[in-house]
Structure 1
Amino acid sequence: MQLFFTEHTNENQFTLDAEESKHLIKVLRKTQGDRVHFTNGKGCLYHCIIIDANPKKAIIKIEEREFQPEDDYYIHLAISPTKNSDRMEWMVEKLTEIGVHEITFMESEFSERSHLKLERLEKKIIAASKQSLKTWLPKLNPVRPMNELVQDSEFNSYQRFIAYVDKENDRHLFDKAKPDNAYLILIGPEGDFSNQEIQLAFDNHFLPCSLGKSRLRSETAAVAAVHTLQLINNLKEL
């Protein structure tokens, strides 16, 4: 199955823009009468048919709507963005494929970057969701100060973790997280969190966790953390 994205959620028939039409008709060689699948990124899977294979404005008709429920757990990753924007784009793409639910970029003491092109990252999320056949798009948040984030009462019901490098911080996230929960995990910049930031997280009931013995780049640590939480929740079903 190939999956496409549309925001036309309340219509039985919609027209694709020129870019999407060209991709569907010219690149993928779809023709009138072919059946295709779309999602709105909010859990709906649309079973559709192409009724006009115009490469500039293809017309799509929805034949059936199917709702796919959200996971019974929720992974929110907060990370200080790195200086290299390409690495952040790679990270967002891979986190989407693995199965993150929300990403917040945060400003910490040793942050290397405070501005991100969120529109470009959103496009990466949509492309990765289509590739990995996901009907729920992760939520993407702009940069937010770390001290504000860790003190936000919204996360009081979450399992909260801070991952950082320390020889005494040797208990892996896999051993600390419990399935069927909402999680907030903090990943610092290349220079890691400051001691004051780590203490602030502890004061707000964040637990320290390790992601293994290797020293990881920030974006690699983010991928490892989300994969670990996905693994914990998928193993319970075996």
Structure 2
Amino acid sequence: MPTFYAPDAAPGHATYLLPEDESKHAVRVLRLAIGDAVTLVDGRGTCYAATVTEANPKRCNLRILKEEVIAPRPTYTHVAVAPTKNLDRMEWLVEKAVEVGIERLTFLRCARSERRDLKLERLEKIAVSALKQSGQAWLPQLDELTDFEDFIAEIDPATTFIAHLEAGERTALAQVIGTAPRCCVLIGPEGDFTPAEIDLALDRGVRPVTLGASRLRTETAALAAVFTAQVVREL
């Protein structure tokens, strides 16, 4: 059944008008007709069962038949990652992280970052598309680029872990997450965090972790952290 993102849908409303771009997609691409069933999701936990009442490519009208509130996951996964110079790799990360299950994704500006600015509009659209494709009801929070020092000053060190490649004792992420309901994992740029950044994090009480024996690309490491958090908690 086709799913549409409806961030302005409100409980109790009997009808909903799709925006023009979604109306065009519904009527011209999906060939929806009057009486066809669709699903709306608002990204805040509510899904709506609806039917088409007006199949106009400029204004596709829907009748809302039923509402269902989906509870958020009992766990909260937050990954903070330094975006790569190639934005395609961050787009891939956003898509896959949303599909696997993530609550928040923060982009870090580190000393060795290749990308110093980032526009979220394209990434937000990809997150919405992944939300619809994976049948989820909660849209993750995407944060603007944040300086590493500012981010470290605000985190809860008890639930935060840093995956770095410097020498020193590190524990497998799967072993330290356990059944903790919340976690935040820091992933550095291609050149890794600097020793000064690692020291700053450790001084704050952030624990060092490893994601395995292989040296992973930034986006792969970030997705591995998301996947590890979900799998460990499910088991």
What is the identity, as a one-letter code, of the residue corresponding to 2:57?
P
Quick check: 213-222 or 169-178, which moved more?
Answer: 169-178
Residue 129 of structure 1 aligns with which residue? 131
2:214 matched residue in structure 1:
214
Structure 1 pair 47/123, CA: closer, same or farther in 2 (3 Å)?
same
Aligned partner of 1:199 in structure 2 is 199
Aligned to 2:190: 190
CA distance in 2, matches of 1:8, 1:49: 18
Map of 1:165 onto structure 2: 165
Distance 2:180 2:205 in 1: 19
Pair 1:24-2:30 in alignment: no
Q: TM-score, with normalisation over the residues of structure 1?
A: 0.94
For the structure 1 residues 158 and 2, does the alpha-carbon distance in structure 2 shift closer, same or farther, using more than 3 Å as the test? farther
Contact 2:158 2:206 in 1 (8 A): no
* Identical-residue share of aligned pairs (%): 40
- Which position in structure 1 is the counterpart of 2:84? 82
Deviations 1:47-95 (A, max 9, x none): 1111111122100111111100001110111011111111111111111
Contact 2:41–2:47, Cα closer than 8 Å, also in 1: yes
How far apart, in 2, do the equivalents of 1:156 and 1:170 lie? 19
Distance in structure 2 (CA, Å) of the matches to 1:99 and 1:216: 20
Unaligned runs of at least 5 residues, structure 2: none
Contact 2:82 2:188 in 1 (8 A): yes
The alignment of Structure 1 onto Structure 2 pairs a total of residues equal to 233
Task: Note the alpha carbon deviations across 1:143-202, whole angstroms, 9 max, x for none.
Answer: 1111111121xx337511000114544521011112242111100000000111111111
Q: What is the DSSP-based 3-state SS (H/G/I as helix, E as strand, rest coil) of the residue aligned with 1:50?
A: strand
| SS at 1:46 equivalent | strand
Contact map agreement 1:162 1:187 (CA 8 A) in 2 = yes
State the alpha-carbon separation in 2 of the partners of residues 79 and 6 from structure 1: 28
Match of 1:47 among 46, 49, 59: 49
SS at structure 2 position matched to 1:64: strand
Structure-2 residue corresponding to 1:229: 229
Counterpart of 1:151 in 2: which secondary structure?
Answer: helix
Distance 1:29 1:94, change over 3 A: same
Query: 1:169, 1:38 → 2: CA distance?
Result: 48
For 2:68, give the aligned amino acid: E
On the 8 A contact 2:160/2:183 being kept in 1, the answer is yes
Contact map agreement 1:8 1:14 (CA 8 A) in 2:
no
- The Cα of 1:22 is off from its aligned counterpart by 1.8
CA offset at residue 129 of structure 1? 0.5
- Gap runs ≥5 in structure 1: none
Does the 8 Å contact 2:158/2:205 carry over to 1? Answer: no
Once superposed, which parts of structure 1, at least 4 consecutive aligned residues long, lie more than 2 Å away? 155-158, 166-171
Q: Distance in 1 between matches of 2:170 and 2:153?
A: 25
Q: Secondary structure of 2:215's match?
A: coil
